[in-house]
Amino acid sequence: MKIAVLVSGSGTNLQTLINKLHNDTSSNIEIAVVISDRKNAYALTRAKQAGIPTKIVKAQDYESRIAFDEAISFLIEEYAVELIVLAGYMKLFQAPFVRKYRNRIINIHPSILPAFPGATPVSDSLSYGVKLTGVTVHFVDENVDTGPIIAQRVVPVYDTDSEEELHQRIQIEEHDLYPKIIKLFAEGKIMVEGRIVSLPNSKL
């Protein structure tokens, strides 16, 4: 199965997907293209080092957000991508893009949704004072971080945590969970009915 990984930042999740899926030929999962909206994203360097094609698509180069999404859609079709994987991608899609790829776009978010959606979930969790947080993998719908939930992992919050320490603890779980979910998707084992996602009794 060919996937596209969309990034905006450092790309530690991308690196995990390269190591555990793309470079493992037994997974039958190929990262066909890495797309970034920021030309300086370190994730692009990781992709190039792995020999994966990279594309930069910047919102400011298009007259509308619909046209920006269409440029991404063009690449998705060009590379025959079956699953769009967001990994630290900081742009929101417009409704037509989401409708076109319904239940074929997944995102990873560093909180237990629906708590702390948006761009700063780790600092929001710390300042709220929660004692548990975690990771959510979900399908993308028309709103921000509201799509059907595929899997979640819980992570403890310690009184002494800095934002960086907490994010690192969350990322350990992200790097374990995300490739497993993508494998299940590729095997056709993720079923969606409205908001409800069911998985086989696999250990996640």
Nearer to ligand GRF, 1 or 140 (CB): 140
Strand partners, 83: 3
Classified as helix, coil or strand, 2 is strand
Residue ranges binding ligand GRF (CB under 6 A)? 9-14, 87-88, 108-110, 171, 174
Strand 83-86 with 105-109, pairing: parallel
- At residue 176, φ and ψ (nearest 5 deg) are -85, -40
Nearer to ligand GRF, 133 or 171 (CB): 171
Measured from the CB of residue 142, what is the shortest distance to ligand GRF in angstroms? Answer: 18
Please count the CA atoms within 13 angstroms of the CA of 146 that sit on its side-chain side.
7
Nearer to ligand GRF, 141 or 174 (CB): 174
- At residue 72, φ and ψ (nearest 5 deg) are -70, -40
Q: What is the CA radius of gyration of the chain?
A: 16
Nearer to ligand GRF, 109 or 169 (CB): 109
Among candidate residues 22, 109, 167, 175, the one labeled active-site is: 109
Residue with token string 């370190």 = 42
The verdict on whether 109 is a catalytic residue reads yes
* Whether 14 contacts 7, CB under 8 Å: yes
CB-nearest residue to ligand GRF: 88
**Residue of 111, 113, 114 lying closest to 127 (CA atoms):** 111
Classified as helix, coil or strand, 137 is strand
Q: List, by residue number, the catalytic residues.
A: 109
